Homo-oligomer: A and B are copies of this chain.
Amino acid sequence: MKLFDGGKAPNPRRVRVFLAEKGMEVPIVPVDMAAMGHRSEEIAARNPFRRLPVLELDDGTVIAESVAICRYFEELHPEPALFGRDAFGRATVEMWQRRLELGLLFQVAAAFRHTHPAMKDWEVPQIAEWGEANRPKAIEFLGILDDHLADTEFVAGDAMSIADITGMIAIDFMKPARIALPDGCRNVQRWHAMLKARPSATA
């Protein structure tokens, strides 16, 4: 098994943080996304969508998509459970994983990719108006998230899950996307600081 990694980008990082929370180590093949390594034939032969990360198993079969790779690791090493424990728990993790990805990470990514000068060769066409439109969507999401986190230590119940990992990465990604966490979001601040203090945050 080997993991074609993509460095600092949110999806490669999500898998590395997940592995760190599991206490797992997987051989890493670094790929330089800044040099467009994800568009190489080496990656295209494994993932026709030319995205990272990609996990190659020992028999040569491939699993792409960060959350699919994490789910495979969860199956191999169920503890600690990061996709929930029982039926309701697993549904709740899926719900918050999706909310944080589709309602926050994607908005932050759109703001970054459509407004940052360094992204103009990555996001074609780069549409500044669309990037700007995503900033208030992200801020609105954070307000609802803050209300939710008033009552819970982790976002999907009383244990760490992949939804927290996605959330931490989304909030970290707000810095290059130039979106500031509103001062009133005290619960989000507490939650994010708690996640950043875990050893996995530096993975």
Residues on A facing B (Cβ under 8 Å): 48-49, 57, 61, 63-65, 67-69, 71-72, 75-76, 86-88, 90-92, 94-95, 98-99, 103, 125, 127, 129-130, 133, 144, 147-148
Contact = CB atoms under 8 A, between A and B. Distances in A.
A109 to B, nearest CB: 11
Contacts of A148: 48
A141 B69 CA distance: 21
Given A98-B67, A129-B125, A48 B147 contact: yes
Contacts of A71: 90-91, 94
Number of identical protomers: 2
Contacts of A125: 129, 133
A72 B87 contact: yes
A91 B68 contact: yes
